């Protein structure tokens, strides 16, 4: 197998004004692997995900998708130059993103939400896009809701549609930003179940989550972020079983019952 990681993050930095949120973060996400990212609120988890697909422009460092640099190119004189939005958009197609607030487009049906980007961005015709869309809805077990409007669905169903919408772009990797944090506990499981199935199918994923159960038994690696730095990193057995960092131990003891 080709060893190029699906996502490579090198010394990523991000400041908002004088507030330094990411202070140099580096990690790889191998193809087909699941990386869970945990950490206290405000530690920079969302900012990190959003810098990967350039919803926020990093202040420094690099992101590579399948080996291709995202957002920046270095010109002949060695200067880093931000790429035009069209280039950033082209690479964003390869990264599906799922938000805490679902962010479905309320004026489109469920199927409409799923096929919008394949049609308008990938230029697929409606028939092919609809077939693909039905397939993606089947993967999140919502085939029967294709013609409903999002407002008629429960939060868990809406989030599963959002997952199907991201899958429909057939991305190289999926980014999840606390996908279950705005759901009632009884709706959390149906979303986590779908995510476990995706993980089992070999989908490359970065998952920011407070669901320690998921992080422990669905992921290949766990990152603990603290104050804009990776404080602890390793396979789940190690991070959960024998964390080296005191802060990580404290965080886990607070979140593990």
Ligand X SMILES: Nc1ncnc2c1ncn2[C@@H]1O[C@H](COP(=O)(O)OP(=O)(O)O)[C@@H](O)[C@H]1O
Residue 16, interface with ligand X (CB under 6 A)? yes
Q: How far is the CB of 205 from other proteins (least distance, A)?
A: 15
* Token pair for 76: 């002949």
Indicate the residue among 132 and 225 with the shorter CB distance to ligand X: 225
Question: Within the chain, what is the greatest distance between any pair of CA atoms?
Answer: 56
Least distance CB 224 / Mg ion (angstroms):
15
- Return the exposure string of 222-239: e unless at least 16 CB atoms fall within 10 Å of the residue's CB, then b: bbbbbebebbbbbebeeb
Residue 104 makes contact with other proteins by CB under 8 A: yes
Q: Applying CB under 6 A, does 41 fall inside the site for ligand X?
A: yes
User: Does residue number 46 form part of the binding site for Mg ion (CB under 5 A)?
Assistant: yes
Asked whether the beta carbons of 6 and 70 are under 8 A apart, the reply is: no
The set of residues, in sequence order, having a beta carbon less than 8 Å from that of 129 and lying 6+ positions away, is 115, 118, 119, 168
**Nearest residue to Mg ion, using CB?**
46
Which span (6-14, 41-49, 113-121, 231-239) binds Mg ion, by CB under 5 A?
A: 41-49
| Residue pointed to by tokens 């990938």 | 122
Least distance (Å) between residue 7 CB and ligand X? 17
Residue choice 106, 200, 202, 241 for contact with other proteins (CB under 8 A): 106
Among other proteins, Mg ion, ligand X, none, partner that 43 touches (CB below 5 to 8 angstroms by kind)? ligand X
Tokens standing for 141?
């077990």
b/e burial code for range 39-71 (CB count within 10 A of at least 16 → b): bbeebbbbbbbbbbbbbbebeebbbbbbeebbb
Position 53 contacts other proteins (CB under 8 A): yes
Q: Which residues pair with 13 in a beta bridge?
A: 23, 60
* Sole binder of other proteins in the list 85, 131, 138, 256 (CB under 8 A): 85
Please answer whether residues 250 and 38 qualify as being in contact, where contact means their C-beta atoms are separated by less than 8 angstroms: no
Interface with Mg ion by CB under 5 A: which range of 45-53, 77-85, 106-114, 156-164? 45-53
Please give the Cα distance from 26 to 116 (Å, whole number). 34
Query: d(Cα 177, Cα 45) in Å, to the nearest integer?
Result: 8
Least Cβ distance, residue 224 to ligand X (angstroms): 11
Which residues of this chain interact with other proteins, rule CB under 8 A? Answer: 53, 55, 85-86, 89-93, 95-97, 99, 101, 103-107, 116-117, 120-121, 149, 151-152, 162, 165-166, 169
Which residues of this chain interact with ligand X, rule CB under 6 A? Answer: 16, 19, 21, 39, 41-47
């Amino acid at each position: 197998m080709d060893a190029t990681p699906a996502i490579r993050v090198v010394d990523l930095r991000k400041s908002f004004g004088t507030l330094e949120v990411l202070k140099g973060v580096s990690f790889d996400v191998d193809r087909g692997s699941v990386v869970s990212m945990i950490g206290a609120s405000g530690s920079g988890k969302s900012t990190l995900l959003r810098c990967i697909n350039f919803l926020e422009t990093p202040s420094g460092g690099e992101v590579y998708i399948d080996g291709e640099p995202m957002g920046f190119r270095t010109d002949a004189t060695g200067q880093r130059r931000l790429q035009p939005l069209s280039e950033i958009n082209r690479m964003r197609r390869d990264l599906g993103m799922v938000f805490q607030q679902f962010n479905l487009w309320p004026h489109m049906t469920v199927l409409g939400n799923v096929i919008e980007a394949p049609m308008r961005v990938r230029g697929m015709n409606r028939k092919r896009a609809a077939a693909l869309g039905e397939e993606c809805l089947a993967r999140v077990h919502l085939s029967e809701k294709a013609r409903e409007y999002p407002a008629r669905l429960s939060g868990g169903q809406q989030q599963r549609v959002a997952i199907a919408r991201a899958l429909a772009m057939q991305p190289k990797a999926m980014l999840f930003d606390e996908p279950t944090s705005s759901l009632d506990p009884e709706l959390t499981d149906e979303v986590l179940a779908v995510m476990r199935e995706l993980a089992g199918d070999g989908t490359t994923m970065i998952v920011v989550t407070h669901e320690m159960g998921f992080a422990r038994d669905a992921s290949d690696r766990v990152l603990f972020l603290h104050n804009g730095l990776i404080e602890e990193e390793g396979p789940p057995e190690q991070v959960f079983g024998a964390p080296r960092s005191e802060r990580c131990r404290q965080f886990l003891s607070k979140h593990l019952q």
